[in-house]
Amino acid sequence: MTTRPVVALILCGSVALFGSGCATKGFVQQQVSATESKLTQQVTSTESALTQQMTAAQTKLTERADLQETKLRETADRAGETRQAVDAADQRLRGLDARVGEAGAVATGARAQADLAAASAQDAEARLAQRFAGRNKYRLLDAKSVYFASGQIELRSQDVNEVEAVAKALAADPNAILELQGFADAQGSDRYNRELARERVESVMRHLVQRHGIELRQLRALAMGKVAVAAGEKANTEALARARRVDMRLLTPWSSWEDAQAQGDRAAPEPSATVAAAPAAPATVAGVADQSAPSLLPDAVGIDPSARQRLPEPLRDITPRDLGVQ
């Protein structure tokens, strides 16, 4: 009796345990299925998220790659432009080097020319100083005389050529001057001979001014009066004829003569034998005619009658001898 209940109890327990085991397995399967579903969903969502992230990352990488490629292209373009600019600058530099070389050559030539100009300036300065120092020095170019009949003041036809030659020389050289000294023979009073000598000088001057347009500034004139007969010489016809004359001395400044010699285009004639052989005259007259400088006596006093009339009465009869002219 006791055994049957125990067996029955064991059987009931076994059945209960078996039934419990069956229930647990189904639950486990449900749990496993649910877990698998969750895992599948999680994996799916993770894969989707990863796919999206990868896609986004690829998009970003593609955009960055495109941007970098664009920047590289721009950089390459700028590099090309820079290279072209460098090449152009190099060409300009080469051109500048060539120009600098040309400028250097020009500067060297200019320096040489400047040195020559400086030397020329120094030479010109020296010549100018020499000219200034010799501004009052004159050179005798020619000496001629024209003669007059007794008591006459008009030029003789045979003497016109002499005056013409002097006029040409004065016109050719504006710096030249002509010194005129008038004389009369020893016949007549001193006052008469002074007036006669003055009128003879005026006759020559009128011919030069009116016929040839010679400027008065180129003429220096003085009436010397009568020529005294030297001691021991007779007042014969020949001596008296030699005394009735106007001596013409053509003078030019030394500087003008030197310039003419240097240029060679207007060489001044050397004093010729005809100059050395000036018309014979007494010693007292020759000394006056051979003066190397023009007369310093004012022209108006020696020649111009109206100027003489404007002088005070005591000064009207002044002679060159009274002023110290021997």
Over residues 235-255, the pLDDT tens digits come to 788 888 899 999 999 998 876
pLDDT at 300 over 60: no
Q: What's the pTM?
A: 0.43
The chain-wide mean pLDDT, for the chain, equals 76
pLDDT at 134 over 70: no
Q: Write down the pLDDT at residue 21.
A: 58
In sequence order, the 6+-apart residues with CB closer than 8 A to the CB of 108 are none
Q: Write down the pLDDT at residue 322.
A: 54
pLDDT at 157 over 70: yes
CA–CA distance, 305 with 149 (Å, rounded to integer): 22
- Cα→Cα distances 162→117, 142, 239, Å: 45, 11, 21
Helices within the chain (DSSP H only)? 3-133, 160-172, 190-206, 212, 237-243, 254-263, 273-276, 283-289, 299-302, 305-310
In sequence order, the 6+-apart residues with CB closer than 8 A to the CB of 224 are 181, 182, 183, 197, 285, 288, 320, 325
CA–CA distance, 303 with 197 (Å, rounded to integer): 9
In the chain, % of residues over pLDDT 90: 23
Better pLDDT: 259 or 275: 259
- Cα→Cα distances 44→31, 38, 49, 69, Å: 19, 10, 8, 36
Position 293 confidence tier, pLDDT thresholds 50, 70, 90: very low
Q: Write down the pLDDT at residue 208.
A: 93
pLDDT at 291 over 70: no
Better pLDDT: 72 or 292: 72
- For residue 130, the SS3 value is helix
Domain boundaries, the chain: 56-133, 135-315
Amino acid identity at 41:
Q
Work out the average pLDDT over 135-164. Answer: 88
Better pLDDT: 72 or 317: 72
What is the homologous superfamily of the domain 135-315 according to CATH? OmpA-like domain (3.30.1330.60)
- Cα→Cα distances 103→94, 115, 167, Å: 14, 18, 55
Residues 244/149, Cβ–Cβ less than 8 Å:
yes
pLDDT at 89 over 80: yes
